[in-house]
Amino acid sequence: MSNTALGLTALLLVIPIIISYKEGLHIIKDLIVATVRAVVQLIILGFLLHYIFKINDKWLLVLCVFVIIVNASWNTISRSSP
């Protein structure tokens, strides 16, 4: 990723913070925390996917897919209950 693309991406994250500040929404801290969490999660996901795509063992790959499906199902169920 070039420095220009990285700067434009950061600008897209700064715009909601500026709007929140000008409108007095008091959610700047939440926006910053969410942004940092998203960046960290994407970095971790990138590293994990790099190794998952290098796996040559079918059963280990099936296990990885199974874990991802179970995790997604668990998150969906936990978010849908009142």
Alpha carbon 77 to its chain's center: 19
pLDDT-based confidence at 13, cuts 50/70/90?
A: confident
pLDDT exceeds 90 at position 19: yes
More confident residue, 13 or 70: 70
Specify whether the CB–CB gap between 20 and 28 falls below 8 A: yes
pLDDT tens-digit series, residues 21-79:
999 999 999 999 998 998 899 999 999 889 888 888 889 889 988 999 999 999 999 88
Domain count, the chain: 1
Structural domain span for residue 63: 3-80
The pTM for the full model equals 0.65
Beta-carbon-side half-sphere exposure of residue 23 (alpha carbons within 13 Å): 9
Specify whether the CB–CB gap between 19 and 27 falls below 8 A: no
